[in-house]
Amino acid sequence: MSDRTGKFAGDDPFAIIRSWMAEADVAEPNDPNAIALASVDASGMPNVRMVLLKDVEDDAFVFYTNYEGVKASELDASGKAAFVMHWKSLRRQIRVRGTVTREEGPQADDYYKSRSLKSRLGAWASDQSRPLKSRASLMAKVAKITAQKGTDPERPPFWGGFRIHPVEIEFWADGDFRLHDRFRWTRGEGATDWEIERLNP
């Protein structure tokens, strides 16, 4: 008999994640959808940065970025990523590892259109991760792009989404005396059934 009760109960990890995120929307004061996204470069050196998770689908996680930046080049090269969501207010975290594909179709167009105009123009202006002479030069480029693109810019061809298809998800909740609760869900790439096991703290 499973002892996955309360906040850990359920047969669908994505439903559990949505439930936890709904709680975080109320409890977490800033960016409850923030994730620390990890990738590796060609030499195997890891890289991690904060990004905002924009969609929890039925079988994957989606975020958006500049395809010409460092993170995108590393994700494209390896086809793999990991991330962790941590909510200090809830004393919980979720860890995910999986494979990566691009999302550059109508869904990416729709999300881009939902962003503020300044954010859309900023996506055009920023050469993400590359050296910048000064903030003044960046703002001058934003002004130039604004004059060129107007008030309804299309999604840049170098900007879009990534979809992470998990092969492992771990749910963690703080416990008294550091006796934390941890449950790991795993499945092979392309598989649909999950294996679930409780882990030692």
Give the residue numbers annotated as catalytic, written as ranges.
Answer: 178
Residue 148: its H or E element: helix 135-149
- CA-CA distance, 118 to 105, in Å (whole number)? 22
- CA-CA distance, 103 to 101, in Å (whole number)? 7
- CA-CA distance, 118 to 152, in Å (whole number)? 11
Distances (CA, A) of 31 to 27, 81, 88, 96, 120: 11, 21, 12, 18, 19
Nearest one of 126, 137, 31 to 70, comparing CA atoms: 126
Which residues are CB-neighbours of 158 under 8 A, at least 6 positions away? 66, 67, 68
- CA-CA distance, 115 to 87, in Å (whole number)? 25
Cα angle, residue 182 at apex, residues 47 and 63 outer, rounded to 5°: 40
The neighbouring-strand residues paired with 48 are 38
Structure tokens at 102: 């691009």
